[in-house]
Amino acid sequence: MTYLVNPSKTVEILTKYDFRFQKKYGQNFLIDSHVLDRIMDGAAITKEDFVLEVGPGIGTMTQFLGERAGSVLAVEIDDELIPVLKETLADHPNVSVLHADILKVDVAKIADEYNGGRPIKVVANLPYYITTPIIMGLLEKKVPFESITVMVQKEVADRMQAAPGTKDYGALSLAVQYYTKPEIIANVPPNCFMPRPKVGSGVIRLIRHETMPVVAADEAKMFAVIRAAFNQRRKTLVNALAGGGVAEKDKTLEALSAMGLREDIRGERLSVAEFARLSELL
């Protein structure tokens, strides 16, 4: 078997199938074996694992996953890539391909059917335009996963692990950190892809908390407060929540006072635990 991570083999396959990159799917295929090894090692893939891969493309990373994992399900939306994957993954009987839109797939049902409901590992080179919806879908829908290891736009990876008070800190940071422990494990320059993206990428690993360090009394309420706080992040928290229709000013002032926080504080200064407490008081 010839590895697709070899650039000439990638070109050969793309030419054979007269494949045209579709901008709407944000397709950029990896052509660097060192990066793939970092992803495999970072995700700690073993023969005990069932892996869900999102967006396999022509199967470059899927081949690596097939060699390391017990079984793999790769979900691909592009019609034109299904016959390509049938050829490139022919030597991996432990790999299945599902032709579907991951945003419409019941991942919890997949975990149940393919892995007996046990926690799965998710690995992906995510298209930039749907990174956040995919990540949030996995987190909020209570999908049983052990870890999510994904290649994303560098600035998105930075946002996921950002700390309170920094410019990258926001609603995505809080959501990711509420459910998982994020860690950037590799920075990937544009020349590692075909075609080259205009921006750098990062591989980030999200490990689900075994024991939640923070538990919100009402998660929906907490995330409504967070969204309102960052929809108008330059405003004070009091004004942002009032403007977003989440809480009246006097109620927020009363809650901030009870928490020992300043009246003019902005949302970007609050930790996950503080947002949980604030939403409870409101």
Q: Are residues 14 and 48 in the same domain?
A: yes
Contact 266, 236 (CB under 8 A): yes
pLDDT of 262 reads 97
User: Domain of 262: which CATH number?
Assistant: 1.10.8.100
pLDDT of 140 reads 87
- Phi, then psi, of 57 in degrees rounded to 5: 65, -120
Number of domains in the chain: 2
CA distance 218 to 201: 34
Element (H, E) at 252: helix 249-258
pLDDT of 1 reads 60
pLDDT exceeds cutoff 90 at 73: yes
Q: Determine, yes or no, domain membership for 1.
A: no
pLDDT in tens, 44-59: 999 999 999 999 999 9
Q: Determine, yes or no, domain membership for 213.
A: no
35 band by pLDDT with thresholds 50, 70 and 90: very high
Last residue in a domain, options 208, 243, 263: 208
pLDDT of 2 reads 64
Q: Are residues 153 and 59 in the same domain?
A: yes
| Span 31-41, average pLDDT | 94
Q: Identify the bridge partners of residue 181 per DSSP, sorted by sequence position.
A: 207
Q: Determine, yes or no, domain membership for 244.
A: yes
Sign of CA dihedral 73, 74, 79, 81: negative
Q: Where are the beta strands (DSSP E) in the chain?
A: 29-30, 50-54, 71-76, 95-99, 120-125, 145-153, 180-188, 193-194, 201-208
Q: Are residues 184 and 163 in the same domain?
A: yes
- Phi, then psi, of 213 in degrees rounded to 5: -70, -25
Q: Are residues 97 and 61 in the same domain?
A: yes
User: Domain of 154: which CATH number?
Assistant: 3.40.50.150
Residue whose pair of structure tokens reads 């990373």 in the numeric block: 61
pLDDT in tens, 90-115: 999 999 999 999 999 999 999 999 99
DSSP state of 267: G
| Span 243-270, average pLDDT | 97
Q: Determine, yes or no, domain membership for 277.
A: yes
pLDDT exceeds cutoff 90 at 127: no
Q: Which domain holds residue 239?
A: 219-281
Q: Are residues 96 and 161 in the same domain?
A: yes
pLDDT in tens, 180-214: 999 999 999 999 999 899 999 999 999 999 999 99
Q: Are residues 79 and 118 in the same domain?
A: yes
CA distance 231 to 244: 8
| Span 63-92, average pLDDT | 96
